[in-house]
Amino acid sequence: MIRRKLTVNEVAEACGTGFLAVRQWITGGRLRATRIPGRPDYQVELDDLLDFLKANAMPVPRRLSTMGHRILIVDDDECMARLIELHLKQAGFEARSAKDGFVGGAMLESYRPTLMTLDILMPGMDGMGVLRFIRSKPHFAGMKILVVSALAPEKLAEALEAGASDVLRKPFEPEALVDRIFALAGGPVPAGVA
């Protein structure tokens, strides 16, 4: 389940401000919020916070841009999959991994990822097969796919031609991975999409 509500403390932390400033935004009617049933605390819907930030010409904090994004990591190298998952979770994304193309394909319907990292060199259904399968399904047309592979540059170019959103060559720096994912995410997922 994707969290769409934030506490006042979470809003303050994400926006780099204090608890009292956020309470003033709420009590002053500038930021929409609802009371938590049975408690004096407020909760803020993600979409309301984004509207507030936009209306006040404030930047969307990087941490908020991860909200609503589910990332499926498809890689037969368990160590690499865990490493990618760890870095993405540390950046605030929800992430799960699949050990091969078949498992990854099966997880598409149940997990409903908005982004995928995909290795190309895998036994069974390789990454190119997974890429072609996903791009042949209209309901997955908007899913961003970052190919993460040790392939030669010309093979990575083939992945882009087959429908990959971007490519990242192994080995890579963790920051490069996270930066590419943030760029592909393009901000939080709107309510009702994920």
19-49 pLDDT, tens digit each? 999 999 999 999 999 998 888 899 998 889 9
Query: If DSSP codes are grouped into helix, strand and coil, which group holds residue 180?
Result: helix
CB 185 within 8 Å of CB 88: no
Average pLDDT score over residue span 74-99: 93
Q: Are 89 and 46 in contact (CB under 8 A)?
A: no
For residues 135-161, average pLDDT? 93
For the chain, where do the domains classified as CATH 3.40.50.2300 start and end?
66-185
Q: What is the mean pLDDT of the chain?
A: 88
- The CATH architecture of the domain made up of 66-185 is 3-Layer(aba) Sandwich (3.40)
Beta bridge partners of 73: 97, 117
Work out the number of other CB atoms within 10 angstroms of the CB of residue 189. 20
Q: Following DSSP, what letter does each residue of 160-181 receive, concatenated? A: HHTT-SEEEESS--HHHHHHHH
- Whole-number percent of the chain with pLDDT over 70: 94
- Determine if the pTM surpasses 0.85: no
Q: Of 93, 143, 153, nearest to 118 (Cα)?
A: 143
Q: What is the pLDDT of residue 91?
A: 85
Strand partners, 97: 73
Query: What pLDDT sits at residue 188?
Result: 56
Inter-helix orientation angle 8-15/19-27, to 10°: 110
**How far, CA to CA in Å, does 139 sit from each of 64, 142, 193?**
25, 8, 12
The pLDDT value recorded for residue 128 is 92
Domain 5-60, CATH:
1.10.10
Q: Is the pLDDT assigned to residue 69 strictly greater than 90?
A: no
Q: What is the mean pLDDT of residues 76-88?
A: 95
pLDDT score of 9: 92
Is the predicted pLDDT of residue 116 greater than 90, yes or no?
yes
DSSP secondary structure letter of residue 28: T
**All CATH 1.10.10 domain ranges in the chain, comma separated:** 5-60
Which pLDDT belongs to residue 192? 43
- Would you state the pLDDT for residue 123? 86
